[in-house]
A and B are shown apart, each in its own frame.
Chain A
């Protein structure tokens, strides 16, 4: 009995340590965002008094609001297209025999390990000549090519776990491959697709390299890139507190998604990685 209570206590301590690890830096940025005026230089973790000044600055700044609009719009469009294309491809990979499948998977793997900067700099040259530089489309296209491999792997791992007898049953009943895919598999695969969408959204939301190399103005610059330029604007008055406020606003969707879909995200991240 005593050892049981002791192991519970130990487990609680461990859990609290892990939670502190994960949340302290986030709390720090939240705390910074509430430091008004000279409070930012108080050199302490917590603000002396709570101030909403920074949020007012950020929410009335065109720089941040347009960047936020760019980020939301681009991430939404790219995530949608990416997941649709990846779902089709992953179905083919998991279920069909066709020549070139290995090539497809090899290409996807190669892209995920390729240094993004090595793609971004040539794209910078290319986009300038074809007029895609500093446009939404100019960011959406590379986001697609980098998020599709991720989704293809996550989804084909999911698809392999689906009870395929049901598809065969549908085909025995006279459905074509396509019908079997649409009517039987899609509903079964929806949770996997959803997970892939969340992971894709995170990846795109997080992007910085494409954001700074392929944009030059507010026309398409996403939030992470805008934050970096925000700080570079003035050498003498570091806009630390407004950046913190902007950071908090950008982190809210991430935290909400994590809170709502914790289990799915963990499954998506680890599925297929350690089996076998």
Chain B
């Protein structure tokens, strides 16, 4: 349940909720306004209650449990330790290592996806032939189950079964025996699976650029690269930021591929995996909850940084 909600960008940019259409909400009949309010909550209420109930409570519960030394197999020994779990985690070199691995995966995948996604978007945008086939094909990686993508890439690189080593004359090189090669394969699977999402967002951004701009630039003698840098990119900043924001947040939560390919072995453990292992495998509920809380805080931080950077961008655009 990841890669989703590009449309939320509308909110991020502060465009919605849209003002009501003129003439619709004149304060002539307070009775009518009240009815509208009631209907609003009647319609939105169930969705809201579900969202808050299922996520709000567990989050608060996790914050609470993160303050205890609590092991599921030994509930009697549960004791309040305050911020002790956080201290344990933040002073453990392993946590910082995993933060590093997670950050590296995020930066590498998002950067490659952006470049590749842009290339795919340009091909689709300028396609003279096979337009429909292109858009259909690109949706296959998007729709495929992440676990299956991970298996496909893992098997391709496994020395015993894969075709990659013979193809490149690598003999019996064990991709999953060391940190960096294993992470490379993890990243490849992630990139393959999620680039289409990025490229479709960028494609929609490309479609928004008025054709005259490009023609005018061409008439003025701008090279293809100049047109790209001076006309295309500035005119689709919004789409670029949205695509980067959602992919970054998603990449930072990486879990499925790591679980399937390495089970966190060879130092490929990510933060999501750490939270999973502490809570589910080791049943260290207190410690695992603290990891979850830290992860959540980090994701919120990334989102805030992005949105902040985003807003200044927009105001600059308007100012000029």
Residues of A within 8 A of B (CB): 7-8, 11-12, 14-19, 21-23, 25-26, 28-29, 32, 40-41, 43-45, 85-86, 88-89, 91-94, 96-102, 104-126, 141-150, 152-154, 156-157, 160, 164, 168, 177-178, 199, 202-210, 212-213, 223-224, 227-228, 231, 238, 240, 243-244, 247, 250-251, 254-255, 257-259, 262-263, 265-266, 269-276
Of B16, B51, B136, B292, which is within 8 A of A262 by CB?
B136
Q: In the complex, what residues of A have CB within 8 A of residue B55's CB?
A: 111, 114, 119, 145
Interface string of B127-152 (1 = CB under 8 A from A): 11110111111111111111111011
Q: In the complex, what residues of B have CB within 8 A of residue A168's CB?
A: 24
A269 touching B147, Cβ below 8 Å: no
A89/B141 contact (C-beta < 8 A), A177-B35, A274-B236 known: no
B118: CB under 8 A from chain A? no
B108-164 interface with A by 8 A CB criterion: 120, 123-124, 126-130, 132-149, 151-153, 155-156, 158, 160-163
Of B7, B12, B65, B300, which is within 8 A of A154 by CB?
B7
A88 touching B126, Cβ below 8 Å: no
Of A97, A123, A152, A251, which is within 8 A of B144 by CB?
A251
B276 CB to closest chain A CB (Å) equals 6
A117/B276 contact (C-beta < 8 A), A19-B137, A157-B10, A269-B200 known: yes
B50 touching A26, Cβ below 8 Å: no
A228/B143 contact (C-beta < 8 A), A111-B55, A126-B58 known: no
B61 touching A275, Cβ below 8 Å: no
Interface string of B260-301 (1 = CB under 8 A from A): 100000000000100110011000010011001101100110
A46 CB to closest chain B CB (Å) equals 9
A202 touching B272, Cβ below 8 Å: no
How far is it, in angstroms, between the C-alpha of A212 and the C-alpha of B10 when the chains are bound? 33
B94: CB under 8 A from chain A? no
B88: CB under 8 A from chain A? no
A85 CB to closest chain B CB (Å) equals 4
B44 touching A93, Cβ below 8 Å: yes
B6: CB under 8 A from chain A? yes
Q: In the complex, what residues of B have CB within 8 A of residue A91's CB?
A: 43
Closest chain A residue to B124 by CB distance?
A: A18
User: What are the 10 A-B residue pairs with the smallest beta carbon separation, nearest first?
Assistant: A98-B40, A122-B58, A145-B54, A273-B6, A270-B204, A118-B292, A89-B47, A272-B7, A153-B7, A121-B279
A97/B20 contact (C-beta < 8 A), A114-B299, A251-B144 known: yes
B133 touching A15, Cβ below 8 Å: yes
Interface string of B210-240 (1 = CB under 8 A from A): 0000000000000000000000000010110
B31: CB under 8 A from chain A? no
A265 touching B139, Cβ below 8 Å: yes
Q: In the complex, what residues of B have CB within 8 A of residue A274's CB?
A: 9, 201, 204-205, 208, 236, 238-239, 242
B48: CB under 8 A from chain A? yes
Of A85, A106, A206, A275, which is within 8 A of B146 by CB?
A206
A23/B40 contact (C-beta < 8 A), A29-B152, A93-B17, A255-B143 known: no
Chain B residues bordering chain A, tally (CB within 8 A): 119
A44 touching B163, Cβ below 8 Å: yes
A118 CB to closest chain B CB (Å) equals 4
B10 touching A89, Cβ below 8 Å: no
How far is it, in angstroms, between the C-alpha of A258 and the C-alpha of B144 when the chains are bound? 10
A235 CB to closest chain B CB (Å) equals 12
B89: CB under 8 A from chain A? no
A11 touching B128, Cβ below 8 Å: yes
A233 CB to closest chain B CB (Å) equals 14
Q: In the complex, what residues of B have CB within 8 A of residue A156's CB?
A: 7, 16
B296 touching A114, Cβ below 8 Å: yes
A266/B260 contact (C-beta < 8 A), A11-B129, A18-B120, A22-B140 known: no
The residue among B1, B136, B239 with the most chain A CB atoms within 10 A of its own CB is B1
B148 touching A92, Cβ below 8 Å: no
B52: CB under 8 A from chain A? yes
Closest chain B residue to A256 by CB distance?
A: B143
B204 touching A273, Cβ below 8 Å: yes
Q: Give 12 A-B contacts (CB < 8 Å), ordered by A residue.
A: A88-B44, A96-B43, A97-B20, A105-B16, A115-B299, A118-B296, A148-B50, A152-B47, A156-B7, A208-B146, A250-B148, A263-B135
How far is it, in angstroms, between the C-alpha of A244 and the C-alpha of B4 when the chains are bound? 26
Interface string of B50-92 (1 = CB under 8 A from A): 1111110111011001000000100000000000000000000
A19 touching B145, Cβ below 8 Å: no
B295 touching A118, Cβ below 8 Å: yes
How far is it, in angstroms, between the C-alpha of A262 and the C-alpha of B295 when the chains are bound? 35
How far is it, in angstroms, between the C-alpha of A91 and the C-alpha of B17 when the chains are bound? 12
Query: 19 other contacts beyond A89-B46, A168-B24, A273-B239, with CB at 8 A cut-off?
Result: A11-B129, A14-B126, A19-B134, A98-B41, A100-B41, A101-B44, A105-B17, A118-B275, A119-B55, A122-B62, A126-B57, A126-B61, A144-B50, A208-B259, A238-B161, A240-B155, A272-B7, A273-B7, A273-B201
A261 CB to closest chain B CB (Å) equals 9
How far is it, in angstroms, between the C-alpha of A238 and the C-alpha of B158 when the chains are bound? 11
A206 touching B47, Cβ below 8 Å: no
